[in-house]
């Protein structure tokens, strides 16, 4: 393994370390902004490594781990975002967000070049270890809460995130890997306990979307009839035990929590209002990436609609939505075909489930918006593409003049991206409170 292949998993693991372990000192006034700053640094370093590899390649042919059709879909998606941003009423912020998504897409490409088993396992283990450290801190909070005879309050028990849903958004990516590790008999009991704690915390947080996503993943895994079926059944038993444990603990302190409450927390009204505001222009372009804002009654303005499809349609337009849905569906189709031909490839299977559960939860939450879960979504997508496209790499011929132009474009984009991100961050006054819901920064207000 050469130095480049060592840097890739180490860089990703460092991102997990800096964003998931709450004992590490934060570099901002709240966890969300700390995680966003780490994400920005990660994206810029990754794009710099891609540019270095691109310019350092003396051959005119540059290898792509993505096929031509997929590359064209991503290009049209980003181009639609740029057009939407240019006609947006908040042009500079919308361009910032478009550049941000572009860097995430570039990171996905960079990660897709990792396809060897050892590197992927290193990344998975790093993710699980860092996240488990967070779960253990939450366990201590549960013990302290019970010892003080207080109700199980997720706002007290959860740690490392400014919003309990941001915590759940990261959790869903972890669950398929815990199911994978249930195959290892030497650590099966430890993994079962960690899975149990994760599911118990989901019940404590009343994260119905996360529970639904986990059930969808379980049903899908059983339908595929792969080698993880036994482990999925064990996970479902663990789900039942965690549910019983939650109600038992909740009854001790008379918390009276209702997991299966019927309210939608305003999401359905938000979705219907957003869809009713669409016009003919949304067939081609949107209102501008990142600029969604809507209030329901006297509530604080929402900075995203809590649904990835509606958000892309509103902000990017129908053409961009069709492109990204086609790219996702193509990935799903290739992954299922790969798993049917390679039934013992449990690494690819767990990556597929992690990506699929993240996509599912994005239909109810801001998985695709918040810094850690957003990065995880693109990392899992990239790792999955690397596994299912190992034998379909294509070459792109680029001359030295085009290389120079691309390098200049990179530098210009970096400058605009950082300048606007820092400008907005400096204008935020946390003492005024979080009037606007989080989007890029923890205060979704745009200046």
Tell me the per-residue pLDDT of 325-349, one tens digit each, with 9 for 90 and over. 999 999 999 999 998 888 888 899 9
pLDDT of residue 314: 94
Beta bridge partners of 394: 64
Q: What is the mean pLDDT of residues 147-171?
A: 91
pLDDT at 299 over 80: no
Taking the CA atoms of 164, 294, 92 and 283 in sequence, report the sign of the dihedral they define. Answer: positive
Contact 138, 159 (CB under 8 A): yes
User: What's the whole-model pTM score?
Assistant: 0.93
Q: Say whether pLDDT at 73 is over 70.
A: yes
CA distance 22 to 17: 9
State the helix-helix crossing angle for 164-181 and 188-204, rounded to 10 degrees. 160
Site of tokens 């759940």: 168
- DSSP assignment of 46-77, as one string? HHHHHHHHHHH--SSEEEESS-HHHHHHHHHH
SS3 content of the chain, % helix, strand, coil (to 5): 70, 0, 30
How many other C-beta atoms can be found within 10 angstroms of the C-beta atom of residue 91? 13
What is the C-alpha to C-alpha distance for residues 411 and 431, in angstroms, rounded to an integer? 35
Whether the per-residue pLDDT at 48 is higher than 80: the answer is yes
Single out the residue of 80, 130, 122, 126 nearest to residue 102, CA to CA.
80
Examine the pLDDT at 303 and tell me if it is beyond 90: no
Whole-angstrom distance, CA of residue 369 vs CA of residue 371: 7
């Amino acid at each position: 393994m050469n130095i480049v292949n060592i840097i890739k998993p180490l860089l990703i693991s460092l991102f997990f370390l800096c964003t998931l372990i709450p004992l590490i000192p934060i570099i901002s006034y709240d966890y969300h902004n700390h995680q966003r700053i780490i994400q920005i640094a990660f994206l810029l370093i990754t794009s710099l490594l891609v540019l270095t590899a691109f310019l350092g390649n003396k051959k005119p042919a540059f290898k792509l781990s993505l096929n031509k059709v997929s590359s064209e879909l991503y290009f049209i998606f980003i181009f639609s975002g740029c057009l939407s941003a240019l006609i947006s009423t908040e042009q500079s912020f919308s361009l910032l967000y478009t550049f941000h998504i572009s860097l995430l897409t570039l990171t996905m490409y960079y990660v897709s070049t990792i396809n060897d088993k050892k590197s992927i396992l290193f990344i998975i283990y790093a993710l699980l270890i860092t996240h488990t450290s967070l779960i253990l801190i939450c366990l201590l909070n549960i013990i302290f809460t019970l010892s003080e005879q207080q109700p199980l309050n997720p706002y007290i028990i959860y740690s490392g995130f400014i919003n309990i849903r941001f915590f759940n958004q990261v959790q869903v990516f972890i669950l398929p890997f815990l199911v994978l590790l249930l195959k290892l008999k030497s650590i099966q009991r430890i993994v079962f306990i960690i899975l149990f704690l994760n599911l118990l915390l989901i019940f404590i947080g009343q994260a119905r979307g996360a529970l639904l996503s986990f059930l969808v993943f379980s049903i899908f895994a059983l339908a595929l009839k792969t080698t993880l079926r036994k482990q999925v059944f064990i996970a479902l038993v663990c789900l039942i035990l965690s549910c019983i444990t939650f109600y038992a603990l909740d009854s001790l302190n008379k918390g009276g929590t209702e997991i299966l409450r019927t309210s939608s927390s305003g999401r359905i009204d938000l979705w219907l209002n957003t869809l009713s505001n669409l016009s003919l222009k949304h067939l081609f372009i949107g209102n501008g990436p990142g600029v969604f804002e809507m209030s329901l009654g006297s509530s604080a303005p929402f900075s995203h609609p809590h649904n990835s499809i509606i958000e892309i349609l509103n902000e990017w337009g129908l053409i961009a939505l069709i492109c990204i849905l086609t790219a996702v569906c193509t990935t799903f189709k290739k992954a299922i075909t790969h798993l049917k031909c390679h039934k013992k490839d449990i690494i690819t299977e767990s990556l597929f489930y992690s990506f699929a559960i993240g996509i599912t939860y994005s239909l109810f939450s801001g998985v695709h918006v918040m810094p850690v879960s957003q990065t995880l979504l693109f990392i899992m997508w990239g790792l999955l593409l690397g596994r299912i496209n190992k034998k379909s790499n294509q070459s792109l011929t680029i001359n030295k003049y085009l290389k120079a132009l691309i390098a200049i474009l990179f530098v210009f984009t970096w400058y605009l991206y950082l300048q606007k991100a820092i400008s907005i961050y400096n204008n935020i006054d946390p003492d005024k409170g979080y009037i606007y819901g989080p989007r890029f920064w923890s205060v979704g207000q745009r200046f």
